[in-house]
Chain A
């Protein structure tokens, strides 16, 4: 059974640009959450999607947005990139909303220059 797949693995973008990251959850899982990991702040919750609906949102500016498709795949978008957006972006897959176990992908390493 395939795990959580995140693409791309690495990205280098320039300040002011926008970026879209993709996450395919484990087959049969319908809940996807996104996290940002930085050395200073650790792992911070961005948002959670279930059945194409955003259920929770973390304390991030509106430049961070996401969506989920009918096949449970999810994308997150960051517009007007800032240097501080450089981070490892992680996607977690769960069978159902509020399910106790979350499985993470390998992440997308975003570097903003």
Chain B
């Protein structure tokens, strides 16, 4: 069974601080996606990483896929209150399945 361990589960920081969220597995994933979810809403796709070692940047967010495609990280620089939300990583076990395996999520609170 493929599992994704996401850490930390909760993070409360001050505006302007940096943070990193980790997503780890013992399994290889064909791709990995990061989502952000607001309470009562559906997850919104932030980025998809496919190639081992790939790094993608989205404004102040930097996403990295591990060389072995078993882990990923999300780094936020100079966090802002608008970054508050639930961050989810989701891996696809193979390229021919639509099934996503989700981490438990990281609840981020950025205080002004």
Contact = CB atoms under 8 A, between A and B. Distances in A.
Interface majority SS (helix, strand, loop, mixed), chain B: loop
Interface stretch (A14-22, A79-87, A95-103): A95-103
Interface majority SS (helix, strand, loop, mixed), chain A: strand
Nearest to B40: A109
A42 B104 contact: yes
Range for the number of chain B residues in contact with chain A: 20 to 34
Given A42-B103, A42-B105, A43-B102, A97 B42 contact: no
A55 B4 CA distance: 22
Contacts of A103: 45
**Most chain A beta carbons < 10 A, residue from B35, B43, B44, B96:** B43
Interface of A: 4, 6, 31, 33, 35, 42-45, 48, 50, 55-56, 58, 88, 90, 92, 94, 97-107, 109
